Structures are given as C-alpha cells and as structure tokens.
Amino acid sequence: MNYQETFSSIHSVLSTLDNTGQTAQYIPELAAVNPQKFGVSLYTIKGELYNFGNAQEKFSIQSIVKVLSLAMAYSRQGAQIWERVGVEPSGTPFNSLVQLEYEQGIPRNPFINAGAIVVSDILVSILQNPEKDFLEFIHEIIGDKSIQYNSSIAESEKSCAYRNLALVHLMKSFGNIENDIDRVMDFYFNMCSICMTTDEVAKVFSMLANKGISPITNTEILSSSSSKRINAIMQTCGFYDESGEFAYRVGLPGKSGVGGGIVAVHPGQYSIAVWSPKLNAKGNSLIGSKFLEAFTTAINASIF
C-alpha cells in the first residue's frame, strides 16, 4: 500500500471543500493557531512511518492525552478505577454539568472532561511527582524525551476554565475528588497542554495497535486485556457525542482533541494521526474526520 500517495490524493480532494469549522475559540492560545495547517502520519507495528503535510510540526494534543492518562491509571490501579468513572458513551457535550449531577458525580466515561479530571485525581493520589512521572510514562512508550508540556497553553486554558472548575467542584461535593482541587486541575491543564507532532502521536499510540506493547521500545505498557478495553472505550466514547458517527463513517477506535488532532488505531496493523485545527460543532476536527473516513474507504479496511 502506497500510503503517502493515498494521503496526497485524499488531501487534494478535501482541499477543494469549504472548511466551515473554527479553531477552539474559547482557549486563546488555540484560537490563534493557523487554521490552514494539515498533517497526517501513519505508523505500523512493524516500525514503518508514512506521513504528509505538516507532520513534523508540534500542536497541542488536548483531549487525545486522556487516553494516555487512562492507560497510566489503568496500568497501576486496574479495574478499581471503574468504581469512580464509567465506560458508557455520554450522548452529551464533553463538558456537560447536567448529566454529572444526575449521576451523582460519577462521570459517564474517562474521555469527557469530568472523567479525565477524575483520572487526573487518581494519578495525583498514586504518583510521587505527577507531572514528571506522567511525562516519563510517555517517554517510555516512544523512547524520546523531547515531548513536554506547554506552559503558555496550560495558562491559557486555566484562564478560561470556568466550566471545568464547575465540574470538579460538583464532583468534590459528591466525594469523587480526593485531592486539593487546585492541585488536580493544575495537573489536568498541564496534561492537556502537551504538544506533539502527528509523527509522535502515531508512534505513541502504536502500542494500542500492538496489544499494549510499544513497537518502538518493545516495552509492555499495558496488558493485552487492558489494551483491548481502552480501544473499546475509544471506539464508543472517543469523540464525545459524535462517537457513533465516527464509528459509522471511519470504523476505527480513536480519540480527538480540540487542538484539531485525531488519532485512530487499527489493532494489529497501525495507528494514524491527523491534524487540522478547524473544529466542527461537536468539537472534532472537521477535515480530520473527513480525511479518516476517506482513508479507510480508500484502503477498504476498518475493524468491521
């Protein structure tokens, strides 16, 4: 399969479309990103890398990181984490307060904001130095220490975090946040600020295409069973209240972020990351979603 030729062909078609999306306007640092950027990278479990466009330019991965924080918490606490966060699709916006109150402070899944905040609280409880230890977890997967937090993006998010603060206070009132709220949220904002290239995202997520083992470092990051379960949650919950639509059109488990990134995994074969900053109304990359739909259609391969 000539992946790079396929990437170029799909991009040529999509570039003629009217991209009506918008960058994430509610986070100043993300609102200022060049909306015309586009990059895509595919990394196979055999160690082959294919890319196109702005694939070596770093961007804020935002909620894509929630898969990695879940992987770290799950690898250390096992099924115990499901006592505090569910595994069901939300069917509501990623920052909904209504559902959280109705369900007494237990987030529907770990990929909506409330769920990721609970996972952050778990990591703050079990890690000696959460920021340092979490970065080292990522470095262990990819074998590269260049991936870091972006303090400007973290501060930008913190400056307008009213809804996230409402979520964490509500969960604290129900007893589902154990640590100091400011400590948990600082860690959460730092995690979401991590910047990677599409090359790096595809490489990091290749462990979920390889039964929890990093093809790069040959390190077991997750058990095969845990990897399967995280892929399942990505399939059903990775795109907020558009998860069903993504599964229907693309047919791969994946996760999006409001920085315009999307990562998807074909277990046993590859991981693919795409970056296009303009978002649709649901908070997912508009062109990124269309690209992955066209890609799985062009190669006639999905998990179904």
- Is residue 56's pLDDT more than 90? yes
Encode burial over 22-53: b for 16+ CB neighbours within 10 A, e otherwise: ebbeebebbeebebebbbbbbbbbeeeebbbb
Mean pLDDT for the stretch of residues 81-98: 90
Q: Which domains does the chain carry?
A: 3-298 (3.40.710.10)
Q: How confident is the model at residue 269 (pLDDT cuts 50, 70, 90)?
A: very high
What secondary structure letter does DSSP report for 213?
A: B
Mean pLDDT for the stretch of residues 158-178: 96
Looking at the chain, the whole-number percentage of residues with pLDDT higher than 90 is 91
Residues 6+ apart with CB under 8 A from 104: 174
Name the residue among 132, 141, 137, 129 with its Cα closest to residue 73: 137
What are the tokens at 15? 């570039």
Name the residue among 104, 13, 24, 119 with its Cα closest to residue 66: 119
Summarize pLDDT for 132-146 with one digit per residue, the tens. Answer: 999 999 999 999 999
* Model pLDDT, residue 179: 98
**What is the rounded average pLDDT for all residues in the chain?**
95
- Is residue 1's pLDDT more than 80? no
CA pair distance 26, 157, nearest whole angstrom: 8
